[in-house]
Amino acid sequence: MRKPAKTFQDLIVWQKSYKFVLDLYKLTKEFPKTEIYGLSSQIRRSAVSIPANIAEGFKRKGKIDKARFMNIAHGSLEELRCYLFLASDLGYCDSSQHLLQIEEISKLLEAYYNSLLNSDS
């Protein structure tokens, strides 16, 4: 059994989502300059929202409040999925690998969300 996380950085879901943000910043750097305030910005904002909400929720008191932030993070992840479909269809990138990362992070978020709601504390 894993030791309980002492900080949000100990959470695997945070680590993976943070690395994903870094990957997406590199990806959007290659987008057309006309997208700097459009799709590039939207992808970056929704991506950053995922680990940020995990971090914020980690310190919240009460499992319902903590779980609410994981739910918000999951919503941002789905928003990001939509943007990656669009970026791929516009020919800006091949998002297949990023969509696999979304699946992995989604499963981790769901597991963490469920563990929060089913915990005794």
pLDDT tens track for 54-80: 999 999 999 999 999 999 999 999 999
Distance CA 79, CA 47 (A): 9
For the chain, the structural domain boundaries read 9-118
In contact, 40 and 28? CB cutoff 8 Å = yes
Report residue 5's pLDDT band, with 50, 70 and 90 as the boundaries.
Answer: confident
**pLDDT given for residue 2 in this prediction:** 64
**What value does the CA radius of gyration of the chain take, rounded to a whole number of Å?**
15
Burial class (CB in 10 A: 0-12, 13-18, 19+), 20: buried
Distance CA 39, CA 55 (A): 25
- The superfamily in CATH containing domain 9-118 is 23S rRNA-intervening sequence (1.20.1440.60)
Per-residue pLDDT tens over the stretch 23-59: 999 999 999 999 999 999 999 999 999 999 999 999 9
